[in-house]
Amino acid sequence: MPQDSRDVKPDRQDARDRRRAERRAEMVAAAMDAVREHGPGVSIAQIAAAAGITKPVLYRHFDDRADLQRAVGTASAEILMSRIWPTLAIEAEPVEHVVAIIDAFLAGIEDEPQLWRFVVHNPAEPAAGAEIVDDVRSQIAALLATIIGERLRAEGRDSGGAEAWAYGLVGMVQSAGDWWLDRRTMSRDALTNYLTTLIWGGIASVAGIDSPTAAADVLRLVPDPVPGPVTPEKTEKEATDG
How confident is the model over 4-41, as pLDDT tens digits? 555 556 777 788 878 888 999 999 999 999 999 999 99
Map out the domains of the chain as residue ranges.
11-62, 73-222
* Most distant pair of Cα atoms in the chain: their distance: 79
Query: Cα(49)–Cα(46) distance, rounded to whole angstroms?
Result: 5
Q: What is the dihedral of CA 72, 25, 46, 175, to 10 degrees?
A: 10
How confident is the model over 85-110, as pLDDT tens digits? 888 787 888 888 889 999 999 999 99
pLDDT at 95: 82
Mean pLDDT of 64-75: 91
Closest CA to 225 of 189, 194, 191, 196: 189
- Transcribe 130-171 into DSSP letters: HHHHHHHHHHHHHHHHHHHHHHHHHTT---TTHHHHHHHHHH
Query: Cα(174)–Cα(136) distance, rounded to whole angstroms?
Result: 10
pLDDT at 223: 42
Query: Cα(39)–Cα(46) distance, rounded to whole angstroms?
Result: 11
Confidence of residue 123 (pLDDT cuts 50, 70, 90): low
Q: Which pTM was predicted?
A: 0.77
Kind plus residue range of the DSSP H or E element containing 89: none
Query: Cα(104)–Cα(102) distance, rounded to whole angstroms?
Result: 5
Instruction: For domain 73-222, say whether CATH 1.10.357.10 is its number.
Output: yes
Q: Where are the beta strands (DSSP E) in 14-65?
A: none
Which architecture characterizes domain 11-62 according to CATH? Orthogonal Bundle (1.10)
